[in-house]
Amino acid sequence: MGTAAAVWLTGPAAHAGSYVVREGDTLSGIAARFGSSPAAIASVNRLANPNLVVAGQALRIPARLTMSSTHQVAAGETLSSIAQRYGTSIGVLARVNHLSDRDVIVSGTTLKVPSASLSAAAPAAPALSPAAAPVAVIEESLERHAATHGLDVSLVKAVAYNESGWRQDVTSSVGAIGVMQVMPGTAKFVNDVLGGGALDVNVADDNVHLGVMYLHHLLNMMPNEKRALAAYFAGPGNVGPKLTEGQAHYASVVESLKARF
């Protein structure tokens, strides 16, 4: 069921793109076809269950990550200057190093630097950005949906603030959209599996609803709030027995933001 939404190549050398799951597909089979990995596809699409892909589901396929070197951050350097030096982008550097805050890098940190080909293969943002919405409207939406799903409103507000600064008119370098930075694949999962129905990731109130439903699912799925936040950041399939530095940093930033709300 379904056909490839963007056919690049059909063999192992296929590059990044998008793919609509067919009947009988598995994540490992799709990864092998495109020269990626199940973990990378699950992470980019924030798949709640990496072992479950549904026919008709649209997946973003990341490029194979090939690292050409590492770079030790010097005092005064920024992610932008490092990206420019190596011919890559801020978004790609942040993604491969699991940086949740692109404006903060610590002197002495060793960064993985991808090859220039990875930068060229990075997923492009949609041509049209989702429409902006007033902050007051977004705050009301966050409060309403948090209450509906029985979540701590300060937690929901903190996640939304850390993800987008409560802005609907933003799209990340990997295609996450809006207030809650929801990936299209995650939106489909929430709509099809968690009962969202026809929530539209490009509409502010629906975007908040999608993010809150997914966060609620992760809080029920993971043993504690910190690990649920790590799963929201990296995808539950990528949360191991010990959180990565990026996952732990994301969770601590959100938990510290709760006090503001």
Q: Which residues are catalytic?
A: 163
CA 176 to chain centre: 6
Cα torsion 99, 41, 45, 193: sign: negative
Cα torsion 216, 218, 222, 225: sign: negative
177 three-state secondary structure? strand
Greatest extent of the chain over all pairs of C-alpha atoms, in Å? 53
Helix (H) or strand (E) holding 231: helix 225-234
Of 109, 102, 100, 113, whose CA–CA distance to 79 is shortest? Answer: 102
Of 195, 198, 200, 204, whose CA–CA distance to 149 is shortest? Answer: 195
Distance CA 92, CA 164 (A): 18
Of 169, 121, 128, whose CA–CA distance to 9 is shortest? Answer: 121
Distance CA 74, CA 243 (A): 26
Distance CA 60, CA 185 (A): 8
